[in-house]
Chains A and B, each alone.
Chain A
Amino acid sequence: MGEHHGPAKGISRWFLTTNHKDIGALYLWFSFAMFLLGGSFAMIIRAELFQPGLQLVEPEFFNQMTTMHGLVMVFGAIMPAFVGLANYMIPMMIGAPDMALPRMNNWSFWILPPAFTILAGTLFMEGGGPNFGWTFYAPLSTTYAPPSVTFFIFGVHIMGLSSIMGAINIIATIVNMRAPGMTYMKMPLFVWTWLITAFLLVAVMPVLAGAVTMMLMDIHFGTSFFSAAGGGDPVLFQHIFWFFGHPEVYIIILPAFGVVSHIIPAFSRKPLFGYDSMVYATASIAFLSFIVWAHHMYTVGMPVAGELFFMYATTLIAVPTAAKVFNWITTMFRGSLSFETPMLFAIGFVVLFTIGGFTGLMLSIAPADFQYHDTYFVVAHFHYTMVAGAIFAMSASVYYWIHKWTGRRYNESMGKAHFWISFLGFNLTFFPQHFVGLAGMPRRIPDYALQFADFNMMSSIGAFIYGASQLLFLYNVIATIRSGKKDDTAKTWDGAEGLEWEVPSPAPYHTFSVPPQVK
């Protein structure tokens, strides 16, 4: 070490850095800030829904909260969190000194904060922020949108640009910079799932950019892509949006699959049961994600042949997903299990994601979806996959690798408390939402009929508990960084496998200056 290899000093280190670990850390902190912001929007939603009637906010503001909650969580919290994790971990896992395109890496992070400043700034503009749901269906998001929609479109463009650059960088890194001997079928699963995710990103983010550009044209330049009055079609918007939107949900969940496939073998002290089938399952899910988009639109009035096609294709996703779940559990079977915080979150992930998978199968059945569609049943379903899926996996990753990042140990009891409070709060929030959804409560309403009151109050209490538990998480992370027990052991966990565990903790600024040989 020495010479120019160390980080620069002061604030310019963070602005000018091209180091994958610095940029990874920036992404992770940024996403956590967005997680708290999006979470506070959720708290406002749940506080209003605590009782029937309007107590705290007006319907107009409520709609802005549901919209911004979705946008901030999807584009600001979950996606950047996994990009940050990819930045930090992929070079270490494949034995590379850094990402392939370090300057672009800097740029792809630093355009994000302005994008979200613009997005959050719309809340203070005349007419308020986006109020048309995170799916921004036309014409509510075009002809009938508040003026701030133009800023929203600009924000989405910048986020898309950031994601595409990040994805290209990840592909370039994985394809070109693997250590000698690391063939594709020897890559760690997190690297595999991210490689596939990155291809999904490159394929669909331009589609999203196209959708918002068409909106911009409709709003300002007199086109009628989404207006029947001018020869367009509002349903066209939904097709384009979900052609992006469905792969998007796998963009969110595939890296989580990767992380869990590292953690479960580590704490079972046993190799992953079926590495090859995990890779193939991931690839099949990615392929299927492109041909199922219209299952979000069963009630829109498609021809019956279209409905049948999308129904059959959607149910097929259950096959590779089930293979993954069986794989994880069979990895644990006849292992030697211990239950540190990362493992608790990983097991929580498997259990709750499986429940989300079951409700997903139910939703895929078109005739039944006529009753489920746009109800709280759907809200419950996707929070089981997004929160208990992506966010539980993200929490697991932080506990799993934080010692590698900081060279300090986190507080295990506090970590376990974080898990149990999250697990309880999460289920208290979202399990009752299945019930109110089936009983007929539509989503995105600020007020509801009296028979839904009991479960909604339960849901709100759960949400406050879940929200509070994240502050415990923040405290634990900060306490670890500032005063956690120092320990430079290379291998944090005795059962962990992979190149990242062969360097000291914290990992050197440029992890591998000489590529390691992989057998």
Chain B
Amino acid sequence: MCFKAKQLCKLVLYPAIVLLSIFGGSAWAEEAQRWQVNMTPGVTEIGHKIFDLHMLVFWICVITGIGVFAYLIYSIVAFRKSQGAESAHFHENTTVEILWTVIPFLILIAIAVPSTKTLLEIYDTDDADLDILVTGYQWKWKYEYLDANGENVSFFSNLSTAQGEIYNAEDKGQHYLLEVDEPVVVPVGKKIRFLVTANDVLHSWWVPAIAVKRDAVPGFINESWTRIEEPGIYRGQCAELCGRNHGYMPIVVHAVEQEEYDAWLAERKAKAAQIKELMSKNFTLDEQMEAGKAIYMSACVACHGVNGEGGVGKPIAGSPIATGEITGLINILVNGKPGSAMPAFGNQFNDVDLAAVITFARNGFGNNMGDVVQPIDVYNFKQGQ
């Protein structure tokens, strides 16, 4: 008897201990780990509340599950025909049926109270210290820091994982698919409001560690907010199917101290002023080729190939558009090609970058047209249309 009880204890305790050790700990790093089995509580108060709610419902399910499955297993083991079990013929029992209706109902009410409280907090987007407009594009994010004086800072954030890693030609880095060229930088301890929208199809802006997920809907602006407690790098991904490269538009948030943020913002503003200046500069062919190649390798290579050989997009090498009338090439870069996978880059890049990449397309991959496109050419084209 004693032996049996001991065994039973082991049988029940072991899984319970394993479960506890898996789900009990809350010391998750900000980034998902190998073999991670649970949600991250993250680095925000709301994130912790969501995590607690998740664990509350989880444990209610586990306890109910243990009860239900114990009842099932007992019935299976105890009433086997092969062991000579005779069937009883009872059925219908109003008391029992009312009980198993009322008890789940009461449990649901117990869950509903904290859920409602947390939901109301998530929806309270008032009194933000900082507004960031997040726009989803196929397949990148644009961030625009809204400034009361109209000096907005904006930039695009692209996947920076090399094509070679994706196609298994190179070793995959530690942050494979979760790394970008321009992270979104935010100060810690401030209430940051994200205004989320999209330019083309639906996207969804999701960073688990800061507990924000909002659908980006073209034509509508959704609101969400966060207040990050700890400086760090937090990574996420687009969570709504948005076409071919849905899996390749990650989000990286750098949360930094206020001073560092201010310095970053000032630098950004200075850079924007610099671009204004560059608009009137005359670049040499070499300068444009070098700058253009860098842009091509991050923004164009996925569709047009490393050697301009084409793929989803048309080949660039020897292309009649790249080597034809120059306005035709500017036009397709600025306006895209409706009905094809070629997006309009006119608002995604500044004219300095557009001029560089157009020059690269005309002269790279053996096209060698020999002419240089200047920022002012792109500007004039846009004005003229």
With A59-B247, A139-B218, A337-B81 known to touch, is A366 a contact of B168 (CB < 8 Å)?
Answer: no
- Measured in the bound complex, the distance between the Cα atoms of B229 and A360 in whole Å is 31
Residue B32 CB within 8 A of the other chain: yes
A440's partner among B40, B75, B96 (CB-CB below 8 A) is: B40
Indicate whether B16 reaches chain A with its CB closer than 8 angstroms. no
**Which stretch, A23-31, A186-194, A312-320, touches the partner chain B?**
A312-320
A to B CB contacts below 8 Å, 25 in the list: A59-B245, A144-B243, A234-B220, A268-B87, A273-B90, A273-B92, A276-B92, A277-B92, A308-B116, A316-B108, A318-B104, A329-B68, A329-B72, A330-B96, A333-B79, A368-B54, A370-B211, A374-B213, A374-B239, A435-B38, A438-B38, A439-B33, A439-B38, A442-B238, A444-B247
Q: Which of A144, A434, A445 contacts B247 (CB 8 A)?
A: A445
| B168/A336 in contact, CB under 8 A | no
Within 8 Å by CB of B72, from A133, A274, A332, lies: A332
A454 touches B35 (CB 8 A): yes
Whether the Cβ atoms of B68 and A60 lie closer than 8 Å is: no
A residues contacting B by CB (< 8 A) are: 52-55, 59-60, 63, 131-133, 137, 139-140, 143-144, 227-229, 233-235, 268-277, 299-301, 304, 307-308, 311-312, 315-316, 318-319, 322-323, 325-326, 329-338, 347, 350-351, 354-355, 358-359, 361-362, 365-368, 370-371, 373-375, 434-435, 438-440, 442, 444-455
Asked if A367 and B36 sit within 8 Å, CB to CB, the answer is no
Beta-carbon contact of B219 and A361 below 8 Å = no
A332 touching B76 by the CB < 8 A rule?
yes
- Encode B125-154 as 1/0 by CB contact (under 8 A) with A: 000000000000010000000000000000
**B92: A residues at CB distance < 8 A:** 273-277
* Nearest 5 interchain pairs by C-beta: A228-B219, A445-B247, A301-B222, A358-B61, A336-B87
List the A side residues contacting B85 at CB < 8 Å: 335-337
| A225 smallest CB distance to B (angstroms) | 13
How far, in angstroms, from A450 to B177 measured CA to CA in the complex? Answer: 9
How far is B33's CA from A455's CA once the two chains are assembled, in angstroms?
Answer: 12
Is there contact, CB below 8 Å, between A55 and B241?
no
A367–B91 touching, CB < 8 Å:
no
Query: Which residues of the partner chain A approach B294 to less than 8 Å between Cβ atoms?
Result: none
B71: interface (CB < 8 Å): yes
Please name all residues of chain A whose beta carbon is closer than 8 Å to the beta carbon of B241 when the two chains form the complex.
Answer: 63, 132-133, 137, 140, 444
Given known A59-B247, A358-B65, contact A373–B35 (CB-CB < 8 A) = no
Interface residues of B in 83-134 (CB under 8 A from A): 85-93, 96-97, 100-101, 104-105, 108, 111-112, 115-116, 118-120, 122-123
Chain A residue contacts of B248, Cβ below 8 A: 59, 447
Which DSSP category, helix, strand, loop or mixed, fits chain A's interface? helix
Q: Is the CB of A53 within 8 A of B166?
A: yes
Chain A contacts for B39, CB-based, 8 A: 371, 438-439
Q: Determine if A311 and B119 form an interchain contact, defined as CB atoms under 8 angstroms apart.
A: yes
Chain B positions 227 through 242: 1 when the CB is less than 8 Å from some CB of chain A, otherwise 0: 0000000001111111
Is residue B381 within 8 Å, beta carbon to beta carbon, of the partner chain? no
Given contacts A235-B220, A276-B92, A362-B54, are A299 and B242 in contact (CB under 8 A)? no
Question: Nearest A residue to B222 by beta-carbon distance?
Answer: A301
List the B side residues contacting A365 at CB < 8 Å: 53-54, 57, 111, 115
B267 at interface (Cβ–Cβ under 8 A)?
no
B49 within 8 A of A: yes
Q: Given the known inter-chain contacts A60-B244, A440-B32, please indicate yes or no for A233 contacting B61, CB distance below 8 A.
A: no
Q: How far is the CA of A311 from the CA of B238 in the complex (A)?
A: 24
Given A332-B79, A335-B88, A435 contacting B37 (CB threshold 8 A): yes
Question: Which residues in A have their C-beta under 8 angstroms from that of B53?
Answer: 365, 367-368
